Amino acid sequence: MSASPFIFSFVLFFQVNLDKIRNSGFYKLIEEKYPAISQSLAPMGTDEDFLKIQKLTGIKPEDLEAINLRFEALDGIEKVDAPTLGSNMDFFTSAQVKGSIRSDDLIGYLLDQLEEESGAEVRKQAEDSKQQKGTQTTIVIPADSFHASFPHESDKKHADLMLGLVEGKKSSNIFIGLKNRVLDAMSGSQVSPLMTVSDAMAKDRQITFAMKIDPALWDRPEFAPNPQAPLLAGLSNSMKGIREVGFSFSFREKSLGIEICVHCEDTQAALGLWTVAQGGLGMAQLSMAQEVGVPFSSIVSRIKTEAKGKEVFVRLEVLPPDLDEFAAQIELATNQADRISAKVPQPPQSLVRKQAPPFEISLLEGKSVTLSALKGKVVVLDFWASWCGPCVKGLPVVSQVVKELGGEEVVLFAINQGESKEQINTFLKAKKLEYLTVGFDPENALGKIFRVQGIPQTVVIDQSGKVHSVHVGFSENVAKKLKKEIQELLSK
């Protein structure tokens, strides 16, 4: 008999206090001495969506003070084929930022995104739900806007989400979740992890990840003991007593405390788990001690374990000298990644915000044109082939957008990929698309320059010759996206 779907009830809680991390002595040491490590801890500043929100609201990465997230798969979720948000799942997240935020601009951005992804009707539903009272603003995010992320059967509707904003002079709060969760948080109620491990772990921690687990999980065949591996069999038996798992990081003045806490059903289960964990750790430490030059060997030798009541702890203090080993490993990993990326084809989106590669387009009519000759114009390249169904749908749409904007400031080149002139002309005549300016690319040379891996691919190049955007595939919203992007470029 096959196993049932791998789904079970659980509670997941994540919390990070960014402000306290930045003010700790150990993090300041990382920033000063090992910028590569600190940059790897703060990738948000380069995220394209976050940069848009930053421009609208003034919220910078360094303004984020704290983030909380709670996700719960409710009891009975394992009995349903298509779990739904609200009935089988609960979700809540919040962020605290320094100073005030421009609520109207943030909501305007959200509405634009809803319309782009889900259409004008969904946008209107959200817009009509907006309520503002003093410094508090709420808006409902219709379930129809995220059905792709949480698919459901037609008779099992997801609950709507709510966005709540509370503005203040010193700090402001952003809440997203089910309506009752958001309203409770806005009224001052704290979202508690409701877990034993959260009380047992270090009180000075700034990062907490905790998970409450359904005991039924351990009865699955994946966790059955393997008699051929005594140590793993012992671990498998000990895991059956686990009820909660927590991870925490404490950025202190001169060290970083890392802690794992496991809460078991009783003291006997905790002692059994600790015995197996201590045995495995001892073997790892002994193995590393016998090998010279093993990375992190000094760190592993300082890992400590403890069984206390129903909890098992694994703790490590990372010291300043350990950062040298981390920095060396990051540099090694970066070099390896660079060598691998040099061999792996880069996605077309990696061209965005970069100067477009210089090129010359051979036109179907026999002439040719270079990118340099088009400077000062918005250039749209649409890569296509006659055998590609989405391309056939997309060509007239892209052409219509360029035509509507009018003038000579925007030019479109439909770059055919790999077909003969005879095939192209036959297709254009049959589809009544002879008006298109078609680029002839029989060897896909231009396609390779623009990293075409799938068609249709539409590339928008701004007046200075930089790639503004890349769209792969065809969707109903492509016309709206292109029109908005080109209008933005023309307005500059």
Question: Burial code of 354-374, b = ≥16 C-beta within 10 A, e = fewer?
Answer: eebeebebbebeeeebebeeb
Task: Note whether residue 212 is domain-resident.
Answer: yes
- Average pLDDT on 53-61 reads 66
216 and 116, same domain (yes or no): no
Q: Over 80: is that where the pLDDT of 316 sits? A: yes
Q: Into how many domains does the chain fold?
A: 3
> Which one, of 280, 268, 251, lies nearest residue 312 by Cα?
268
Spatial separation of the C-alpha atoms in residues 133 and 131, rounded to whole Å: 7
Beta strands in 185-255 (DSSP E): 207-213, 242-251
Domain boundary among 192, 216, 251: 192
164 and 81, same domain (yes or no): yes
75-123 pLDDT, tens per residue? 888 787 778 888 888 989 999 999 888 888 888 888 888 887 778 888 9
Beta strands in 52-160 (DSSP E): 64-73, 89-98, 131-133, 136-141
Task: Note whether residue 92 is domain-resident.
Answer: yes
- Average pLDDT on 228-242 reads 67
Spatial separation of the C-alpha atoms in residues 483 and 471, rounded to whole Å: 13
CATH of the domain at 427: 3.40.30.10
Task: Note whether residue 257 is domain-resident.
Answer: yes
Highest mean pLDDT among 149-153, 164-168, 471-475: 164-168
Task: Note whether residue 22 is domain-resident.
Answer: no
* Higher local confidence (pLDDT), 290 or 181: 181
**Domain residue limits at 57:** 42-192
Task: Note whether residue 332 is domain-resident.
Answer: no
Domain boundary among 145, 164, 192: 192
230 and 104, same domain (yes or no): no
> What per-residue confidence (pLDDT) applies to 151?
47
- Average pLDDT on 136-142 reads 93
227 and 309, same domain (yes or no): yes
Query: DSSP code of 188?
Result: T
Evaluate the omega torsion of the peptide bond into residue 456 and state whether it is cis, within 30 degrees of 0: yes
**pTM, full prediction:** 0.65
Q: Over 90: is that where the pLDDT of 149 sits? A: no
Q: Over 90: is that where the pLDDT of 60 sits? A: no
63 and 185, same domain (yes or no): yes
74 and 170, same domain (yes or no): yes
172 and 224, same domain (yes or no): no
167 and 55, same domain (yes or no): yes
Spatial separation of the C-alpha atoms in residues 211 and 193, rounded to whole Å: 9
Mean pLDDT, rounded, of the chain: 83
132 and 264, same domain (yes or no): no
Helix (H, G, I), strand (E, B) or coil at 100: coil
Residues 6+ apart with CB under 8 A from 311: 196, 197, 200, 261, 262, 263, 264, 270
Task: Note whether residue 211 is domain-resident.
Answer: yes
Q: Which of 134-143, 224-233, 301-310 has the lowest mean pLDDT?
A: 224-233
Is 56:72 a contact under the CB 8 Å cutoff? no
At 143, the pLDDT band (50, 70, 90 cuts) reads confident
Spatial separation of the C-alpha atoms in residues 300 and 340, rounded to whole Å: 29
Spatial separation of the C-alpha atoms in residues 418 and 50, rounded to whole Å: 38
Q: Over 60: is that where the pLDDT of 40 sits? A: no
Matching residue, tokens 């928008």: 460
> What per-residue confidence (pLDDT) applies to 131?
94
Is 84:157 a contact under the CB 8 Å cutoff? yes
Domain boundary among 167, 192, 217: 192
188 and 217, same domain (yes or no): no
Percent of the chain with pLDDT over 90: 37
Task: Note whether residue 197 is domain-resident.
Answer: no
288 and 151, same domain (yes or no): no
> What per-residue confidence (pLDDT) applies to 470?
92
Token output for 490: 């023309």
319 and 396, same domain (yes or no): no
Report phi then psi at 231, rounded to 5.
-65, -45
Task: Note whether residue 117 is domain-resident.
Answer: yes
